[in-house]
């Protein structure tokens, strides 16, 4: 599920993109690529069951199976437990001091242990050797009285809180087949809190203790199917559950618990296939189009898979080799799970962990049967269904008080379930009954700079009303004197009202419009709009406004592609419904601001103490047309003290690259543009890097950051300049941390840099935005490199200032504006353009 911030925040007006049925929408919900880093082996990727023929004419993938064919438990991803030390060695303290103190509750629980508590690691060998790990586990379990009740054994490694007297302990065991075994247990040492294995053991202990709550493991998280919420009119269920993680924080081991919901649709992939079969001539293409990239759940083992392909050459009657004999899928599921497959002629589904396959060259595949796969999650059509989202929001959009109650209920259940309590006590662990509290700080309100003065951003960080008596910071000196409007003839009245209000709103903000060149069309077909746009382009307009009847994605994409890829003309798309809106003056005000931005001008600015500063935002979005492709977008400011302008550029990259190989050329283009405008290179660069998963952090830190630093030094050396002061900050939005101030959301500007942060990082949490519904989600900032020499206070304040400059919304955003711009641009290209825009647009906010 998306977090409460994404669901419950105020909706900014963004008329220049397809909208929901309500006429407005949040920033586009794209699938932003986040790579992962892992040191796993090839055997991490397994098939279920293995196919004897993946595709017609393709060689059968080799399976590395040790015990049985069929479903295999996926081992935990190593990247979940990686501890990447990115804290600069010269950093003395990451704690800030400025701001108003505020006491906050969190969704963390402190795990209490004995002072001498430690985890001991042993290596276990069997003589004669045993290949099957389950047999090894069974034989060792006979010695539980000696090992102690609190131990973990994965078939090779043994973890316990008890240190045996001897470095090498020898035990005797016997299998069910009456075979005698010698068990050698050798002490490897104590696990440091800085080791990934420490986190892995802690999370395994937690997972074992939560078994007493009778929850079902779906993917990585635990959900309660017995408390499911049925939304029958939409054929779906909501399973409430928890996302948990336990790790060493600044001073204590803390358990982070987030309330989650899993969307379970009652329809299967087989149901989708039957719907697609109504068009026999195209049913295969239509079926592929509808199911590729869906996440499905197989009820027989509660595992989730992504569908990567459909194999129409195989059916459940096809056979594969299992335990030395050929068996069909029909027989396999009947004997293994007592499941009878009804349709023996349905095609089979192929799932492959592509990200892992990229790293390990694994060829194993997972083969699935459509009628056994339930669809999870929601698609774009569902998101645009207002009634559905409202029905879901009643359960998923929890205000802080309700969320706190749910967290306390979880704690109470865990503390009062005998099975759960026993597991924690066996490991000499205890969980605090109270939510962990932290001391936060609220950064002072920022001043918003307009053409004739400055105004405070307000307690809610919203300065929308200031536009009533303030003029925009910069506008075209001669006004917009050459522009065009395309509209259907039958909507001439709506166009007239829209233009009148647009002129009135713009005039109040210091922006002048001359009458546009009007092009009337007699139908609303996509081709008609494109032809009209070509006709308008001949007069070399500064921008073109298109009035459209509805939110047709094909029409919208065609207009944008013709304007940005073929013609280098900014376009603004407005729907008829918007033009008829009763609050048209407020809408006209925001359209005027957008038009000003699309011409390269700036509505407002903030007070910025640093000169010679370039801030950079970078993000990646997958192509919706080809999931193997993605687009990286970089947006950079050009010294906001001097001319308040930005530069943007886009490049194509692979969707499976953890790091973008095209990042440095994009940075180099931004530096050259800065040099052209200011006759020198920037003296300070702050790079906000979005689109990075926790698993990618190690690679980014070891390769990307080092590469950028080296190339920056070389670039500045060529220009006979001193190397710049650089801060490289990883921005993470998908965090489970939540903060509460007296049962309410904390105010914008709230910073947390202690207790729940990580000791191996120079990191802090920032709540920069205000939400009216649900619980606000803080953003995590990890400073992985910095030679700027500024204090943590200044770093935090600078980051908060950068959240005030997103011109699609007269308020603060969850991330710095350059990150939001980069996301917006990457999404536009990956969703609508599918090609690189014209270079002539690089200095304009054409993507707003």
Q: Would you name the residues annotated as active-site residues? A: 619, 690
- Cα dihedral 374, 47, 630, 821 in deg (nearest 10): 50
295-298 and 325-328 strand pairing: unpaired
**CA distances for 408 relative to 238, 255, 258, 480, 499, angstroms:** 21, 13, 12, 58, 55
Phi, psi of 127 (to 5 degrees): -130, 120
**Who's near 835: CB < 8 A, 6+ residues apart?**
561, 565, 829
Q: Residue 621: which of 357, 805, 821 has the closest Cα?
A: 821
How far apart (Å, rounded) are the C-alpha atoms in residues 363 and 380? 32
Name the strand (E) or helix (H) holding 210.
Answer: helix 196-210
Residue 588, classed as helix, strand or coil, is helix
Could you write out the DSSP letters of every residue in 27-63? S--------------GGGS--SSPPS-SSTTPPPPP-
How far apart (Å, rounded) are the C-alpha atoms in residues 141 and 151? 10
Name the strand (E) or helix (H) holding 689.
Answer: strand 684-689
Other beta carbons within 10 angstroms of residue 722's beta carbon come to 11
Partners of 286 in beta bridges:
none
How far apart (Å, rounded) are the C-alpha atoms in residues 262 and 394? 15
Name the strand (E) or helix (H) holding 672.
Answer: helix 663-678
Are the C-beta atoms of 777 and 814 separated by less than 8 Å? yes
**CA distances for 370 relative to 146, 336, 341, 559, angstroms:** 48, 17, 10, 38
Q: Residue 765: which of 440, 375, 335, 315 has the closest Cα?
A: 440
Cβ-count burial of 259 within 10 angstroms (0-12 exposed, 13-18 middle, 19+ buried)?
Answer: buried
How far apart (Å, rounded) are the C-alpha atoms in residues 106 and 736? 10
Partners of 455 in beta bridges:
448
Are the C-beta atoms of 273 and 287 separated by less than 8 Å? yes
Other beta carbons within 10 angstroms of residue 757's beta carbon come to 21
How far apart (Å, rounded) are the C-alpha atoms in residues 697 and 784? 9
How far apart (Å, rounded) are the C-alpha atoms in residues 581 and 597? 23
483-488 and 517-521 strand pairing: parallel
């Amino acid at each position: 599920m998306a977090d409460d911030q994404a669901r419950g925040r105020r909706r900014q007006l963004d008329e220049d993109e397809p909208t929901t049925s309500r006429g407005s929408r949040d920033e586009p919900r794209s699938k932003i690529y986040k790579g992962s880093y892992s040191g796993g082996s090839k055997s991490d990727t397994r098939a279920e069951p293995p196919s004897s023929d993946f595709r017609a004419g393709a060689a059968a993938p080799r399976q590395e199976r040790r015990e049985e064919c069929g479903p295999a438990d996926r081992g935990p991803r190593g990247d979940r437990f990686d501890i990447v030390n990115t804290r600069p060695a010269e950093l003395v303290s990451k704690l800030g001091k400025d701001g108003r103190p505020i006491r906050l509750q969190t969704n963390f629980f402190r795990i209490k242990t004995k002072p001498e508590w430690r985890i001991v690691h042993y290596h276990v060998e069997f003589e004669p050797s045993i290949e099957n790990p389950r047999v090894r586990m069974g034989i060792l379990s006979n010695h539980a009285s000696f090992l102690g009740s609190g131990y973990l054994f994965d078939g090779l490694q043994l973890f316990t809180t008890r240190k045996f007297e001897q470095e090498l302990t020898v035990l005797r065991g016997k299998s069910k087949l009456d075979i005698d075994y010698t068990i050698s247990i050798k002490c490897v040492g104590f696990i440091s809190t800085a080791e990934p294995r420490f986190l892995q053991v802690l999370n395994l202990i937690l997972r074992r203790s939560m078994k007493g709550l009778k929850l079902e493991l779906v993917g990585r998280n635990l959900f309660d199917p017995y408390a499911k919420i049925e939304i029958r009119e939409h054929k779906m269920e909501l399973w409430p559950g928890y996302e948990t993680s336990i790790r060493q924080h600044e001073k204590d081991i803390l358990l982070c618990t987030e309330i989650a919901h899993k969307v379970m649709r009652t329809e299967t992939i087989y149901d989708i296939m039957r719907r697609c079969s109504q068009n026999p001539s195209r049913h295969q293409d239509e079926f592929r189009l509808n199911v590729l990239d869906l996440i499905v759940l197989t009820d027989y083992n509660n595992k989730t898979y992504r569908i990567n392909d459909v194999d129409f050459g195989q059916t459940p009657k096809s056979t594969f080799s299992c335990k030395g004999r050929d068996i069909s899928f029909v027989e396999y599921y009947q004997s293994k799970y007592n499941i009878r497959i009804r349709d023996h002629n349905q095609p089979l589904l192929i799932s492959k962990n592509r990200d892992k396959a990229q790293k390990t060259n694994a060829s194993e595949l997972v083969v699935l049967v459509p009628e056994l796969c339930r669809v999870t999650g929601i698609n774009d059509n569902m998101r645009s269904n207002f009634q559905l989202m409202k029905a879901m929001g009643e359960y998923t959009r929890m205000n802080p008080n309700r969320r706190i109650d749910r967290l306390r209920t979880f704690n109470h259940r865990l503390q009062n379930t005998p099975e759960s309590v026993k597991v924690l006590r066996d490991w000499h662990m205890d969980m605090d009954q109270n939510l962990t509290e932290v001391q936060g700080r609220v950064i002072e309100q920022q001043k918003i700079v307009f053409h004739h003065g400055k105004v405070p951003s307000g307690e809610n960080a919203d300065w929308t009303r200031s536009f009533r008596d303030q003029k925009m910071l910069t506008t075209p000196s001669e006004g917009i004197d050459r522009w065009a409007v395309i509209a259907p003839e039958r909507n001439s009245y709506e166009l007239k009202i829209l233009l009148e209000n647009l002129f009135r709103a713009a005039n109040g903000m210091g922006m002048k419009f001359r009458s546009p060149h009007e092009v009337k069309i007699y139908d609303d077909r996509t081709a008609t709009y494109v032809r009209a746009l070509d006709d308008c382009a001949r007069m070399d307009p500064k921008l073109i406004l298109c009035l459209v009847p509805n939110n047709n994605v094909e029409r919208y994409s065609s207009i944008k592609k013709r304007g940005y890829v073929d013609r280098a003309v900014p376009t603004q798309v407005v729907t008829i419904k918007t033009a008829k809106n009763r609050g048209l003056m407020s809408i006209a005000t925001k359209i005027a601001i957008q038009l000003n931005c699309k011409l390269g001008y700036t509505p407002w600015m903030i007070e910025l103490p640093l000169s010679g500063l370039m801030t950079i935002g970078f993000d990646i979005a997958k192509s919706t047309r080809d999931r193997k492709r993605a687009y990286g977008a970089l947006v950079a400011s050009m010294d906001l003290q001097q001319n308040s302008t930005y530069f943007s550029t886009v490049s194509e990259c692979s969707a499976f690259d953890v790091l973008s190989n095209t990042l440095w050329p994009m940075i180099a283009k931004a530096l050259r543009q800065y040099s052209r405008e200011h006759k020198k290179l920037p003296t300070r660069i702050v790079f906000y890097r979005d689109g990075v998963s926790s698993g990618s952090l190690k690679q980014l830190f070891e390769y990307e950051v080092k590469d950028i630093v080296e190339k920056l030094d070389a670039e500045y050396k060529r220009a006979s300049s001193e190397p710049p002061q650089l801060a490289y900050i990883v921005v993470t939005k998908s965090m489970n941390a939540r903060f509460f101030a007296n049962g309410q959301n904390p105010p914008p500007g709230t910073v947390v840099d202690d207790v729940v942060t990580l000791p191996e990082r120079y990191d802090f949490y920032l709540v920069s935005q205000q939400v009216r519904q649900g619980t606000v989600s803080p953003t995590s900032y990890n400073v992985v490199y910095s030679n700027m020499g500024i204090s943590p206070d200044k770093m935090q304040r600078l980051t908060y200032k950068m959240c005030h400059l997103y011109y699609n919304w007269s308020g603060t955003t969850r991330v710095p504006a350059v990150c939001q711009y980069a996301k917006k641009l990457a999404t536009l290209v990956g969703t609508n353009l599918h090609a690189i825009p014209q270079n002539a647009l690089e200095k304009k906010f054409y993507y707003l």
